Chain A
Amino acid sequence: VSAQGASRAAPALAPESPLVLGHPSPRALAEQLLRTTWTTPRFFWPLIALSGSVSLLLILGAAYTITTGIGEWGNNMPVAWAFGITNFVFWIGIGHAGTFISAFLLLLKQGWRSSINRVVEAMTLFALINAGMFPVLHLGRPWFAYWLAPYPATMRVWPQFRSALPWDLVAVSTYFTISAVFLYVGMIPDLAKLRDHASSKWARRIYGIMAVGWRGNASQWSYLRIAYGLLAGLATPLVISVHSIVSMDFAIALLPGWHSTVFPPYFVAGALFSGFGMVATILILIRPWLGVGNVITTRHLNAVATMMLITAWMVSYGYFVEYVLAPSSTDPTERFVLLQARPFGQHAVAFWLVLACNFVIPQALWSKRVRISPLWLFVISITTNVGMWTERFMLIVTSLERDFLPSSWGRFVPSVVDIAMLVGTFGLFATLMMAFIRLFPFIPVHEVQKLAEREARTRRAAA
């Protein structure tokens, strides 16, 4: 589904407008793009102090939960999963757009990905750090989380492989590993550049170690390209598989509202939708802040917005299928959850918010003016992520609140710790992103140089 979406997305991009503006020389590009690693950008310290203190909410919340008990969250019976798993699914989803852009679009030879792939790969990695925390923290006994992993225990006990949770562990840890390696391998030539231009001894040493002896000769470039292609080949199926497996945490259950075959594609589409929303948010913020409007152009914004529109329709199609089929269900519980509990129940606000954010508002993206307007796109990227977080909350919580026996129906009210930890994830994410931007070339210099060169060639040929 996503592959089709991507290929359909391609013609929407105007091939005429250049991806690198102002015909900069390769040297000028390198200087511009590596500048953040030498000089601290404006407002950097106040911003990272702010995000760091927000991320303290997460850290303190986690510490409190681990020492006192998971009862500090609002979870109860029947709502045994709530904010924790919502956050997990949400952040995993965010990561997907990063991999989609850097791997999927690499294989599809989409040139525009070059200038943004590094920052979105970092986004993937940091979203995964946020996500990976929650399945552990939400355990009753987090210190035994490793029991979900198939390790050679002396007691010869294995995880119970019929459960989707060990699959999850494998999927997410694979995803994390591949994403980290992919990010690193793609960064090697730029790390070498940093090593070569470093003014301090320590920076030279550290970047030098990370550059693993890159000299930029032809055979190294050839190996790099092969390795990068292979990693992209490995990462591409993960875009589909990881969120499909995450969706099985729900789909394999009996619970009405979870027990649904539409979940895997629907979750993948939702993940890309929210991921592209996050990409848009980040791009729109860093363009003016770091002055990279010449390499991250409105054409990029247009491409990302188009992807948002496409994935919004895929997600909406999922809703549509679910609600068209619901009345014909023979299960009264399923009918109740979908047709009564969600739209009119105690969390009805969530349902209508989801429809508004994920279906109605993205329709504005049909307009090119909106797509290339940083302000409007920013607003929509925020509503997208509000909508997608709320969608996961709605799926998880309303189904649990209204299951088979009305005797066990309940209500979920988030605790202070729940809210603090949710807010804290954004703080941690922002902190890690800013730290990355400050320490590493967040735009792949070598790729953008190549892109600029190619565009210059094309221009010359046209002239």
Chain B
Amino acid sequence: MTDEDRPHQDVLDERGEIAAWSRRAFLRVMGASVALGGLAACERPKDKIVPYVRQPEDVIPGNASYYATAREHAGLGFGLLVESHEGRPTKVEGNPRHPASRGATDLHSQASVLSLYDPDRARAVTERGAPRPFRAFSEALVRACPPAHHGEGLFVVLEPTSSPLVEAAIGRLRAALPAATVAYVSSQAPHARWAAARAAFGRVVEPQLDASKAEVVASFGADLLAARADTVHVARALMERRRVRARTDTMSRLWVAETAMTVTGATCDERAALRPSEMVPALAALLGELARGGGAAAIPDALRARLAAIHGGPRGAWTAALARDLAAHCGAGAVVCGDDVPLAGHLLAHAANALLGSTGVSYTRSPILEAGEPSHDPQRLAEAIDRKAVAALVILGGNPVYAMPGDLAMARRVREVPLSAYLGEYADETARACTWHVAEQHWLESWGDVRAFDGSLSLVQPLVAPMHGGKSRVEVLGALLGDLAADPHALLRAAHRERAGAAGAVGAAAADDDAWEQALARGVLDPTSFAAEHVTLDWARVVAEAEKAAAPAPARAAGAYELAVVLDGKLDDGRHANNAWLQELPDPITKQTWGNALLVSPRTAKELGVATGDVVAVDRAGAGAGADAASGAGAGAGAAAAVLVPVLVAPGHADGAATIALGYGRTDGLGEAARVGVSAQSLRSSVAGPPSSFGLRRTGTRESLAITMAPRSSEDREIIKSLTLAEHQAPVSDARRHDDDDDEKKQKSRRSLYFLAPGGARQWAMSIDLTACTGCSVCVVACQAENNVPVVGKEGVLAGREMHWLRIDRYVEDAEGKPRVEMMPMLCQHCETAPCEYVCPTGATSHSADGLNQMVYPRCVGTRFCSNNCPYKVRRFNWFDYNRDTPALRALAHNPDVTVRARGVMEKCSYCVQRIREAERQARVEHRPLATGDVVTACQQACPTQAIQFGSLNDDASPVARLRDDVRAYSALGELGTKPRTTYLARLRNTSPDLDREGGDK
């Protein structure tokens, strides 16, 4: 996309209203208004249409274009294809060529379209709230840090990144101002992981899990399947090894030790709930078991003996079974450790992998710039400010004032700096603390590049011109040097030319243009992923750490609780707090929307005498010994105050501990509705140390939590069919469980006395593999983005009026004992004999010839009888005119192919009928039959694990036709005779035979 074909920003005025009115248009509307004045009651919504004056060559109104780009998440790249309608991006899909996305998407990418059109985004450049030109900003900085001083006192703070473009800009800055300091500050930097790599291997390398090669994957505190930069890739790879088709197929086994239940824990086969402090001892015990069981790695015998002497651990039987399982699949096991686990845990995980000779884990250098270097230490900045050594502080994104642990007292410290500037998308907490604020470009507005977790380099290209005069990091870094002409596009292009030159493909300008266009179109530059590194482990260090970890820990003091402060799966560190789609997305496990809570196990809740919704005070003071050990020097006043937070009883949580998500309790730069939840920053510490304990006190007050589904069991109804791999492989299982197996019986069961309209050539159907579904909920946001699903806010959710067409049902079996979480995506089942259709008095919901249960919005009067009669309760009702107050700017995010529903009509999943019809039109235009895979629904496209398949039953090549005849296929509530077109594949768990024999580990 070139500059010329971007829509001009002048069309939008300050409030995002479409402003460009011609005299003729004005007169026309005026005339019409007068004429229709008497009919004001029957007035139709007025659409303002601004046609192209000169139509860009490659834009056909009504046809979407797709552009490859990439989004940065925790410094790493996620390759995307963005759908654009007449110059406005409306939907984000994964780039199949990109290693991190492989065609699927993550939550934040899906939801980011909404943020682009967020009316609350900051505009242009301001100094203490007053608008200033960018030039003035540059001059102010140059004045504060004149070149003559070589950048003395200049501190540039940015989030860890892998962008070569930013690297080059920093290089230029350091060359020009050698005394300036560049610091990488992030709430989510994996300091322990990097430090452990340095301790184990002598240099910073990143462990890369290839779950598709692993027979046994063990995770200690790592939420592999959610909220990480490489989640989509890991989930896809894991499920590749867990896809069971033939009865003889096998699947890998996933073991998870974690504190709070996560989607990884819900997906796994064997789970152990451990307190944060138990992670490292558990890993030490595992290592002990592995050492006793033998192993391939070259480890000196003396050290092996010392390891073998380690016994016990917090969950002995579980760890022993895991060790046996890993040993049995020697070489095909992988042990991974979460970023929140201390250094020793990572070290022990590396050792376990080395001991096993795991092929599932390889090591590459880190794509993050200066990973593990002192420049990533947040304390350095704090110390420099305290020394009064900072004359100018330039913060490039990340909202550190909110997102950094409370003990850093960033708000106070930033205010102490004479000149502080912030590049950020919102006028948030950091912008408030800084003197200057430069609006940052949304990633859909900017040029750049970024590396994926494996080093693959992607280009970031804008889909739309910066709407609010935003700047990029590169431009601001240029401005520090007085260079206002720093053009990321030109720099990127030059860098690309240079890379091509280095690769030996130098050519004429035309060839260069072609290469550039191709690179942009592909989105990912090919031979750029990092090669695996050969590493050797420092066994002596490992053994020392293991022995230290295995030392018996002091018993937990009564009334002292461990606290895990984790990144939120939806809001991350709070940067997505103003995204209503993410706020309203039910948390995959707790199903909480619009807020956070303190998660505790049912037993701990009983101990405290609290229930879900009771507000407790969390503070260090109540916990007695060692309470203030970690709060460190200069702890702000906030660190001492108790945090008042409602409890949410979360089955599966470790006893004696609590978990709270970051990202909530934001105060600045976001809409009123998004100011929900409680900030847990004051409970965190920026200093690595042993998990500190906290006191929890009841306050006696209550708060209502907007939870869409309480942790409920399926009441022994066979809604989710779940069986172990062993049961599945036993021949008796399908006779018992799937009695409608043989074709004849199936045919019979499909017969009906009822007259069924003859079907068309294509019969659409969906199949959802419950084994592959992790419950990550990306599909929910994808559906919301595709189908213009409105948000209803916290009050709406509390009233039970959430509008998601697709929801993930989460059932918790045996909540008080050994909880098992089952996930089931629930959407319109497109029943062949749909109960909703016969009760509709106006025929507003009817059946199409190709098997779709359709909603005719204009014919719907809103009796809601259809919803009452829907056994799946997937129908959603427009209780109010949810779109009436949508700002014009926000409305640009709507998908133009889908009706925006009015008040009083029912809506529900349409199987993305707009995509079906689009594919049919395309096929007709091209004079070809519709091919298998031409129609991909939004949920299917977004699904990281390809759990959702869609296609025609009449198409033998379609996976859906095949999957419907799978022995595991079943219809939800099929006994009602609704004949759903959506079928599920029963969930398989590859439980450990060792633990099964022992009757499970409690």
Contacts and interface: CB of A to CB of B under 8 A. Distances in A.
Contact of B709 (A75, A141, A407): A407
Contact of B904 (A139, A147, A249, A332): A139
A452 interface: no
Given A141-B904, A163-B839, A332-B716, A407 B809 contact: yes
B906 A140 contact: yes
B880 A68 contact: yes
B128 interface: no
Contacts of A69: 878-881, 903-904
B861 A145 contact: yes
**Looking at A71, A249, A403, which has the most chain B CB atoms within 10 Å of its CB?**
A71
A169 B906 CA distance: 21
A78 B873 contact: yes
Contacts of B826: 405, 407
Nearest to B714: A406
A158 B869 CA distance: 21
A140 B841 contact: no
A80 interface: yes
Contact of B877 (A140, A163, A255, A409): A140
Contacts of B729: none
Interface residues of B, number: 52
A108 B799 CA distance: 51
A159 B715 contact: no
Contacts of A339: none
Given A253-B868, A332-B717, A77 B841 contact: no
Nearest to A146: B861
B973 A404 contact: yes
A410 interface: yes
B842 A160 contact: yes
A77 B904 contact: no
B864 A81 contact: yes
A459 to B, nearest CB: 57
Which DSSP category, helix, strand, loop or mixed, fits chain A's interface? loop
B198 interface: no
Contacts of A408: 709, 809, 872-873
Interface string B126-156: 0000000000000000000000000000000
A147 B906 CA distance: 16
B871 interface: yes
Nearest to A84: B864
Contact of A157 (B859, B869, B906): B859
Contacts of B838: 160, 162-163, 252
A404 B717 contact: yes
Contact of A160 (B714, B843, B872): B843
Contacts of B976: 254, 404
Interface in B807-855: 807, 809-811, 824, 826, 835, 838-843
Interface string A377-408: 00000000000000000000000100111111
Interface in A62-104: 68-71, 74-81
Contacts of B516: none
Given A70-B879, A139-B904, A405-B873, A163 B840 contact: yes
A254 B880 contact: no
A70 B862 contact: yes
A359 interface: no
Nearest to B709: A407
**Looking at B799, B824, B860, which has the most chain A CB atoms within 10 Å of its CB?**
B799
A141 B801 contact: no
Contacts of B714: 406
B868 A406 contact: no
B324 interface: no
A149 to B, nearest CB: 10
A431 interface: no
A376 to B, nearest CB: 39
Interface string A139-159: 111001101100000000111
A132 B904 CA distance: 19
Nearest to A169: B841
Contacts of B840: 160, 163
Contacts of B878: 69, 140
Contact of B903 (A141, A148, A332): A141
A159 B835 contact: no
**Looking at A160, A169, A253, which has the most chain B CB atoms within 10 Å of its CB?**
A160
A405 B872 contact: yes
**Looking at A140, A165, A253, which has the most chain B CB atoms within 10 Å of its CB?**
A140
A333 interface: yes
Contact of B800 (A68, A77, A158): A77
Contacts of A266: none
Contacts of B66: none
B245 interface: no
A158 B840 CA distance: 12
**Looking at A80, A139, A336, A406, which has the most chain B CB atoms within 10 Å of its CB?**
A80
Given A76-B799, A78-B873, A164-B839, A141 B861 contact: yes
A415 to B, nearest CB: 9
Nearest to B876: A77
B865 A165 contact: yes
B811 A77 contact: no
B862 A332 contact: no
Nearest to B856: A157
B940 interface: no
Given A78-B867, A80-B867, A407-B709, A253 B717 contact: no
B861 A407 contact: no
B713 A140 contact: no
A70 B877 CA distance: 10
Contacts of B962: none
A408 B826 CA distance: 10
B863 interface: yes
Q: What 6 A-B pairs are tightest by C-beta distance, nearest first?
A: A140-B862, A140-B904, A71-B879, A76-B800, A408-B873, A407-B809
Interface of B: 709, 712-717, 719, 799-802, 807, 809-811, 824, 826, 835, 838-843, 859-865, 867-869, 871-873, 875-881, 903-906, 972-973, 976
27 contacts: A69-B881, A70-B904, A71-B880, A75-B864, A76-B879, A78-B800, A79-B800, A140-B861, A140-B877, A159-B842, A160-B840, A165-B839, A165-B863, A253-B865, A403-B871, A403-B873, A404-B719, A405-B826, A406-B714, A406-B715, A407-B709, A407-B719, A407-B807, A407-B810, A407-B811, A408-B873, A409-B709
